[in-house]
Amino acid sequence: MLSAKNLFQEILDDDGSFRLFCSIAASGESQGGWENGRIAALVPASQRALAPKIARHGADEDKHGRIFHALLRKRGLTAVPVPEDTDYTMLLEKHGIGLAHEQLGREEPLTEHDIITYLAHSRVTEQRASEQMRLLLRYFADHPDLGRAVRMISNDEDNHLAYCHEELLRFAAAGHGRTIQHTLRVCALAEIRVYRDVSLAVMEHMGRVLGWSRARAAALAAGIHAVYAYERLLGWRRMVSLAPPGRADALGGPVAPAPEFA
């Protein structure tokens, strides 16, 4: 039976597909850690109070990258190069979403508009991350190898999403509401296209590793296109709404120590 749980289980049970899965995840998290670290260092003077929260966000992403590498080591595996067509972060940048690595690599302070762009981009991508981790949490919270990692990362992603809501609402109250809504909409519509393309690429690579039949590959691709059609019509709206989060000041505390899984 073709189901999300069975698909994930098949990927996790095979060393080759598990290696690719963890490599892609670790790369994306590490990129996010670097980006947030640079943004924290370049925050404009008017928003210096945000710097510790942005740094905390980056530290969490770095921690997640280490966790995925530790999961590989626990199975005696090493990371593999990430195929370009599965690089979610860089593909978003190519679509003009978020702050470019070239800009973050300079030593020029960011503007308040840059910070709003960063928060809107993060609000959209953290929505995706939170949903993906909750799906894994539903199936693998008690898994002997993955359970601890999934629980920790899922909690962190929920914190990141809460922080984005809170800070964007603060900027909206300061008069930036229309800019925020426009930026969120542009980000959301671009993200769902990139997510579709990355999902198709990941499934193609996984299919080669696992030897899927053409019929199964076609069925999975059809499912991905169906999700995109729904998100293009209605689903993107969940990524642009703003509401006071249930977790106040979610990134205001100290960074939790990164556990070792190897």
- CATH number, position 222: 1.20.1260.10
How many domains is the chain built from? Answer: 1
CA angle 240, 245, 246 (to 5 degrees): 145
pLDDT of the residue at 262: 39
Neighbours of 138 (CB within 10 A): 12
Give the tokens for residue 38.
């640079």
pTM tops 0.75: yes
Is residue 74 in a domain?
yes
Per-residue pLDDT in tens (0 to 9) along the chain, 262 residues:
568 889 999 999 999 999 999 999 999 999 999 999 999 999 999 999 999 999 999 999 999 999 999 999 999 999 999 999 999 999 999 998 999 999 999 999 999 999 999 999 999 999 999 999 999 999 999 988 899 999 999 999 999 999 999 999 999 999 999 999 999 999 999 999 999 999 999 999 999 999 999 999 999 999 999 999 999 999 999 999 999 998 888 998 655 555 544 3
Is residue 245 in a domain?
no
- CA 255/CA 262 separation, integer angstroms: 21
Is residue 254 in a domain?
no
Is residue 260 in a domain?
no
Q: Based on C-alpha coordinates, what's the Rg of the chain?
A: 18
Is residue 251 in a domain?
no
pLDDT of the residue at 252: 83
Full residue range of the structural domain in which residue 132 is found: 4-239
- CA 1/CA 173 separation, integer angstroms: 49
pLDDT of the residue at 1: 52
pLDDT of the residue at 183: 97
